[in-house]
Amino acid sequence: MSTPLVIKIGGAIMESPQALIELFKVVKTLQNTNQAIIIVHGGGCVADELLAKAGYTSKKVNGLRVSEPEHMAIITGALAGTVNKALVASANTVGISAVGLALHDGQMIKCTPAEEFLGCVGVPKANNNAFINGLVASNNVAIISSIGSLDNGQLVNVNADDAAVAISQLVNGNLILLTDVAGVKGASGEYLESLNYNDAQQLIEQGVIDGGMIAKVNAAFTAATQLRRSIAVASWKTPEQLITLQQGNVFGTRIEPNC
C-alpha cells in the first residue's frame, strides 16, 4: 500500500458543488495510480447555519469554535450527518467507493477534553489503525468527520485541522490542508512557498496570520514536526495541482518541520 495522502477540506467547499466534484475527480485519478486517499473534513459554515436556525449563537476564540453542550446535537448532525453524507454522495458520483466515518469509528482516534472554556471539544490522539488500514487496502476512500468521543462516550467536536493531523499520524501519511485561499500570506501580502516555525510565530505576532489560519498553521507545524515531513497548506480551488504535488512540485505553502 502506498503512503496514504490525507486531505483535509473545510466546510466552505460545500458551497461550491462543482468544485467538490472537481476535487473528487482528481481523487479518483490519484486512486487510479494506486495512491491511497483519506479525507478529513470540518463543516463549520453548515453548523453555524443550523445553529442560527435553532436560535443559537456560535462563539469562536482564536479561530476555535466554542461547542456548548446544548449545541452538540446540532453540531454532530451537521458534521457527521449532513456534511459527511453529502461528501460521500458526491464521491460516489465519480465512481469512488467512499465510506463516511467519525473519528471514534473503529477506535481510530481517542479524544481527551480540551480546555474547559471551549465546551464539548476534544483533543484527538491516534489510537488504532487496523480499521482504517483495512478500508484503504480495499481501495476505499474514508471520509472522516471531525466528531469524536471521550472515554465516557460523550461526543465532542474536534478542530478539523487537528483531526487531520491525528489521522495522518495514525496512518503515517502525508497531509495537505485544503482551504479557500492559495496558501499562507507573508507580511507583504504574497503567498509564501514555504514557512518555518520562527517566521510563522513572528507573522502571528504581527497579526499577518490571524483568525482560523492560526489554528491551521499551528496544526500543520504539529503534523510536520511529528511526521518529520513538510505539510502543504493550499487551495481546493485548484485541485488538479494535487497531481503535480506527487511529482515534487510546489503547491500552496509548505510548512516545514520545527527541528
Q: Is 8 a catalytic residue?
A: yes
Q: Is 216 a catalytic residue?
A: yes
Residue 195 falls within a domain, yes or no? no
**Running along the chain, 259 residues long, what does each successive block of 10 average in pLDDT?**
86 81 94 94 90 91 85 96 95 97 98 96 97 95 98 96 92 88 88 92 92 82 84 84 73 84
CA–CA separation, 123 vs 64, rounded Å?
12
Residue 226 falls within a domain, yes or no? no
Q: Is 11 a catalytic residue?
A: yes
CA–CA separation, 172 vs 222, rounded Å?
14
Residue 46 falls within a domain, yes or no? yes
Residue 57 falls within a domain, yes or no? yes
- pLDDT attached to residue 259: 67
Residue 159 falls within a domain, yes or no? yes
- pLDDT attached to residue 192: 92
Q: Do residues 11 and 48 lie in contact, with contact meaning Cβ atoms separated by under 8 Å?
A: no
Question: Is the pTM above the cut of 0.85?
Answer: yes
Residues shown for the chain = 259
Other C-beta atoms closer than 10 Å to the C-beta of 77 total 15
Segments of 78-236 assigned E as strands:
98-101, 109-113, 122-126, 141-145, 147-149, 155-157, 174-179, 194-195, 231-235
Among the listed residues 11, 81, 106, 212, the single catalytic one is 11
CATH number (domain holding residue 13) = 3.40.1160.10
- pLDDT attached to residue 179: 82
- pLDDT attached to residue 246: 66
| 65 carries a ligand binding annotation | yes
- pLDDT attached to residue 248: 66
Please report how many Cα atoms fall inside a 13 Å half-sphere around the Cα of residue 255, on the Cβ side. 30
Instruction: Quote the domain boundaries for residue 11.
Output: 5-182+233-247
| 43 carries a ligand binding annotation | yes
Total number of domains constituting the chain: 1
CA–CA separation, 239 vs 206, rounded Å?
31
Segments of 58-200 assigned E as strands:
59-61, 64-66, 98-101, 109-113, 122-126, 141-145, 147-149, 155-157, 174-179, 194-195
Burial of 181 (C-beta count, 10 Å sphere; 0-12/13-18/19+): middle
Among the listed residues 148, 161, 173, 212, the single catalytic one is 161
Residue 252 falls within a domain, yes or no? no
Residue 124 falls within a domain, yes or no? yes
| Strand (E) or helix (H) holding 102 | none
Residue 85 falls within a domain, yes or no? yes
